[in-house]
Amino acid sequence: MGTWWTKAQDAAIDRMTEDGAALEEIAAAVHRGAAQVELRRAQLAALRHAERPWSAADDAELRRLKQLRLGWPAIGAALGRPTEKVKQRAADLGLAGGGESHAKPGQVAGAAKMRRCLCCQVRFYSAGIENRVCNPCKGTETWRIGGATGCGNAGGRVGMRAGT
């Protein structure tokens, strides 16, 4: 059962809590049960906690925890913030992702993706930046012998080497 709380009710809970009002008084004021108010108060506190600004100390702690290669949920728990907020902040600080700062540069720059074969110009799935020739080309005798100029997968070009 979802319980809808209006902004006015939330504000009343905040204000009366600050004023040191008893739970029953607050409950009466917002026309809810004391247990509901207590629950809502905890939710509001958690929300506020999650949204609180990042201090320099928080950032430093985030950096430190990230260097320990902890998972996001663990870092979030340690900082008392939702995982998503921690990830977001890490991205803002340039710390995002699965620990790129520790990865070899080639692993990032040369990630697997579609690349154009240097040999036959056909797009293929390349495992990394060093993988620039498609498998059909690699498999040809001509490629192994003649390199890019002797692409065996580009139709009639195979015979050219014989003619030169």
Task: Name which of 110 and 136 has its Cβ closer to Zn ion.
Answer: 136
User: Of the two residues 82 and 152, which places its CB atom closer to Zn ion in the complex?
Assistant: 152
134 binds Zn ion (CB under 5 A): yes
- Pick the piece of the chain touching Zn ion (CB under 5 A) from 23-31, 56-64, 95-103, 131-139: 131-139
Which CB sits closer to Zn ion, 86 or 119? Answer: 119
Q: At residue 86, what are phi and psi to the nearest 5 degrees?
A: -65, -45
Q: In Å, how far from its chain's centre is CA 121?
A: 33
Query: Contact region for Zn ion (CB under 5 A) — 3-11, 17-25, 82-90, 132-140?
Result: 132-140
Q: Which stretch binds Zn ion (CB under 5 A): 20-28, 56-64, 81-89, 119-127?
A: 119-127
Q: Which two tokens stand for residue 50?
A: 């999650």
Which distant-in-sequence residues (6+ apart) come within 8 Å of 119 by Cβ? 133, 134, 137, 143, 148, 151, 152, 153, 154
Say whether residue 140 binds Zn ion (CB under 5 A).
no
Please report how close the Cβ of residue 104 comes to Zn ion at its closest, in angstroms: 27
CA distance 148 to 117: 10
Do 12 and 26 contact (CB within 8 A), yes or no?
A: yes
Does 86 sit near Zn ion (CB under 5 A)?
A: no
To Zn ion, the closest distance from the beta carbon of 126 in angstroms equals 11
Backbone angles phi, psi at 151, to 5 degrees: -60, 125
Task: Report the distance separating Cα 86 and Cα 79, nearest Å.
Answer: 8
Establish if 120 lies at the interface with Zn ion (CB under 5 A): yes
Interface ranges with Zn ion (CB under 5 A) = 117, 119-120, 134, 137, 153
